[in-house]
Structure 1
Amino acid sequence: MSYLVGKIVLDVVAGAPNNGLGEDNLARVKQMRIGRDVHPYVSAQAFRRWVRDSLPASEPVSPVVRAGKANKQQAYTQGRPDLYLDDDLFGYMVAVKGDKARTCQRDTVLSTGTFVSVAPRPPARDWGTMSRGFGAGENPVIHEHEFYSAELAGDVLLDLPRVGVFEVDGAGLKVALPKPAAEQALAGGAEAVTFRGCAALRLAMPERRRRAALLLRTLAAVRGGAKQALHYGDRAPALVLLAPVKGGVNPFTRVMGVRADRVRFDGGVLRAEIEAWADELDGPVLLGWAPGFLGDQRDQVRAELADLVSAGTLVIGHPRVLLGDLAGQIERGERDIWFEDPKA
């Protein structure tokens, strides 16, 4: 059993990828204060939406149902993780009352943190005008918005043993598939198992491998974000640190730091954490680092950690290449042990 845990860093250049509440004709980006410093951020919900929208067009996604009126509305997906990859990996909650009453819930398999700027980066303001079609002498309509340049970092965890495994009993809202859906899943080839103390259904291993591999490839090519017309920019990860860890603890949350207002990757922290958690690591640590990101730090870290690279403990390369290679290993069945849960 292994969890894939680590860090993803986005390189936002003059962008406004996630907006907050506007006020007085000013479109604000999401931001938070840490002490006196302002740090823009991208919410976990926004990033997860980008990932979902970046899935291949050929991959069916769970249809969304919207019900109710005014302030008593709700929206939910089909809640069928056996049929839809996004219900499986991103989770859901369905609570329907009345004649078609059903309640089910699935905790997310892919956990993502908020992507907060590593260094303080107060947003700048830009303003524009709308005067197209106005008559001579008419005043234009003025509007303002914020944007910023920053390195945004967030934690990530993928619970591999839960990919394609759905609880059918348990306390409270733990049931992922109510009885009618469970019967359909069984008829479709799912296997009845016991998983982490609960009765569950498990998809065939080839489909579980496919879903995990597809997610990794999608993470390498994420696209999306707000204000692409004015602030188009790459949203694929500039840096990905990913490691298979047996217990699900993420020891790599502090590898990004700040020195003299410059964001830095701390190779010493990475080395210390690899040594401290060596007994929990279930394979090499992958450090995907896009060339040019953070200047010459990539070459410096490679030289600093050359012994770990030579020993096979650490692999450094392009994010897309490393995630693609890992996806290929999973598809070929070379990492099946990661999907097995000893508590099952």
Structure 2
Amino acid sequence: MTYLVGKLALDITAGAPNNGRGENNVGEVKKMMIGRNTHPYVSAQAFRRWVRESLPADVPVSPVTRSGSKANQQAYTAGRPDLYLDDDLFGYMVALKDGSYQRDTVLATGTLVSVAPRRPTRDFGTMSRGFGPDENPVIHEHELYTAELASDILLDIPRVGVFQLQGSGLRRNLTDTAAEEAEAAGAQKTTFRGLDSIVLPIQERRRRVALLLNTVAEVRGGAKRALHYGDRSPALVLLAPLKGGNNPFTRVLAARAVREDQGYPHIETVFDVEVLREEIIAWADELDGPVLVGWSPGFLAGQRDRVREELDDLISAGTLVIDHPRVVLRGLAKQIEAGEHDDWFEDPVR
């Protein structure tokens, strides 16, 4: 049983990738206060939508049904993880009169929060195209910011392609009819974490994990792309195969005051080498392979080469790999699809 756990970071330059509720004709970005400091963020829901919408065009996604009206509206997907990869990986809840069926997420993502505090600025604009010489322009404003955003990430690999048929709440994934159709299409009965379940063929489970990793490597999306287009693929991704669901690498990115600027500390995002080293040592008995760090050149300028130098012993020992995010993610996807990590899909709890 192996989870992929770690960290994911985006490099936002003069962007507004996820907006909140605006007031007084001002489009505001999502942000939170931590103490007295402002930290912009991208919600987990937004990033998960980017991933879903970045899937290849030939990958079918689960259709959405919308019902009700006004305050009593609800929307839900087909709830068929055997047919649709997004239902499998992202989870769902289908609440019907004849029963409710739910699936907890297999891909867990946190909120992408700016590591160092950053105060958004406002851009002032007008619309006057086609107006007469005596007509006043329409004024509008919106916020934007530059920041490094980071989030934890976890993929519960043994649950990919495994659907539980017993229990209540998040445990029962499929209707009896859907389970029968899945079995007829090649799924097999099994016991998973103490519950009657069905499992898809290993080839399909490999394919789904590989497809997800390849998609994350090239994720795109975000709001206001007409005005603030920018790269939304990970500038840094850390993935570690761990036998438990803990994430010891949540603190590898930190905010540090690096210098004084007109009497005020200038705070930057730093990659903490000692945190990574100590966590690798502390969790060595749980690691099921090397820790993979994908790091885009130019991100956190100057730190990439220093980290490589200071962790050269771990790199030489094969305990740590540092390369480009796309190379790391696509390389791991190829290994999984080739069957090199089939033991990661096994769950010893029966």
- Does 1:258 pair with 2:255? yes
Equivalent residue for 1:134, pick from 131, 137, 147: 131
Question: Could you tell me which residue of structure 2 aligns to residue 323 of structure 1?
Answer: 329
Q: Give the partner amino acid of 2:117.
A: P
Deviates most, 292-301 or 255-264: 255-264
- Does 1:103 pair with 2:109? no
- Structure 2 CA distance, aligned partners of 1:286 and 1:181? 38
Q: Give the partner amino acid of 1:15.
A: G
Shift of 1:127: 1.2
Question: Could you tell me which residue of structure 2 aligns to residue 115 of structure 1?
Answer: 112
**Unmatched 5+ residue regions in structure 2?**
258-266
Question: Could you tell me which residue of structure 2 aligns to residue 63 of structure 1?
Answer: 63
Question: For the Cα contact (< 8 Å) 1:168–1:198, is it kept in 2?
Answer: yes
- Does 1:288 pair with 2:294? yes
- Structure 2 CA distance, aligned partners of 1:145 and 1:198? 51
- Does 1:306 pair with 2:309? no
Shift of 1:173: 4.4
- For residue 210 of structure 1, give the secondary structure of its aligned residue in structure 2: helix
TM-score (norm 2): 0.97
- Does 1:238 pair with 2:244? no
- Structure 1 CA distance, aligned partners of 2:190 and 2:329? 30
Question: For the Cα contact (< 8 Å) 2:237–2:293, is it kept in 1?
Answer: yes
Say if 1:172 and 1:9 are closer, same or farther in 2 by CA, change over 3 A.
closer
- For residue 228 of structure 2, give the secondary structure of its aligned residue in structure 1: coil
Question: Could you tell me which residue of structure 2 aligns to residue 220 of structure 1?
Answer: 217
Question: Could you tell me which residue of structure 2 aligns to residue 35 of structure 1?
Answer: 35
Shift of 1:248: 1.0
- Structure 2 CA distance, aligned partners of 1:67 and 1:127? 39
Question: For the Cα contact (< 8 Å) 2:9–2:236, is it kept in 1?
Answer: yes
Deviates most, 126-135 or 32-41: 126-135
Runs of 4+ in 1 over 6 A off after TM superposition: none
The Cα offsets for residues 166-207 of structure 1, whole Å up to 9 and x where unpaired, read as 001113342100111111111111000000011101000000
Question: For the Cα contact (< 8 Å) 2:102–2:169, is it kept in 1?
Answer: no
Question: Could you tell me which residue of structure 2 aligns to residue 85 of structure 1?
Answer: 85
Q: Give the partner amino acid of 2:6.
A: G
Deviates most, 180-189 or 36-45: 180-189
- Structure 1 CA distance, aligned partners of 2:299 and 2:70? 46
Q: Give the partner amino acid of 1:14.
A: A
Equivalent residue for 2:166, pick from 144, 166, 169: 169
Q: Give the partner amino acid of 2:75.
A: A
Question: Could you tell me which residue of structure 1 aligns to residue 208 of structure 2?
Answer: 211
- Structure 2 CA distance, aligned partners of 1:108 and 1:212? 14
- For residue 6 of structure 2, give the secondary structure of its aligned residue in structure 1: strand
- For residue 154 of structure 1, give the secondary structure of its aligned residue in structure 2: strand
Question: For the Cα contact (< 8 Å) 1:167–1:199, is it kept in 2?
Answer: yes
- Does 1:342 pair with 2:348? yes
Identity of aligned residues (%): 70
Shift of 1:3: 0.1
- Structure 2 CA distance, aligned partners of 1:212 and 1:77? 21
- For residue 288 of structure 1, give the secondary structure of its aligned residue in structure 2: strand
Question: For the Cα contact (< 8 Å) 2:39–2:118, is it kept in 1?
Answer: yes
Shift of 1:102: 3.5
Shift of 1:132: 1.2
- Structure 2 CA distance, aligned partners of 1:174 and 1:341? 16
After superposition, the CA RMSD in angstroms is 0.7
Q: Give the partner amino acid of 2:143.
A: E
- Does 1:193 pair with 2:199? no
- For residue 147 of structure 1, give the secondary structure of its aligned residue in structure 2: strand
Question: For the Cα contact (< 8 Å) 1:13–1:150, is it kept in 2?
Answer: yes
Question: For the Cα contact (< 8 Å) 2:15–2:145, is it kept in 1?
Answer: yes
The Cα offsets for residues 285-322 of structure 1, whole Å up to 9 and x where unpaired, read as 00000011111100000000000000000000000001
- For residue 225 of structure 2, give the secondary structure of its aligned residue in structure 1: coil
- Structure 2 CA distance, aligned partners of 1:265 and 1:15? 23
- Structure 1 CA distance, aligned partners of 2:99 and 2:179? 13
Equivalent residue for 2:180, pick from 169, 172, 183: 183
- Structure 2 CA distance, aligned partners of 1:173 and 1:217? 28
- Structure 1 CA distance, aligned partners of 2:254 and 2:92? 34
Question: For the Cα contact (< 8 Å) 1:103–1:173, is it kept in 2?
Answer: no
- For residue 276 of structure 2, give the secondary structure of its aligned residue in structure 1: helix
Question: Could you tell me which residue of structure 2 aligns to residue 278 of structure 1?
Answer: 284
Q: Give the partner amino acid of 2:69.
A: K
Q: Give the partner amino acid of 1:235.
A: R
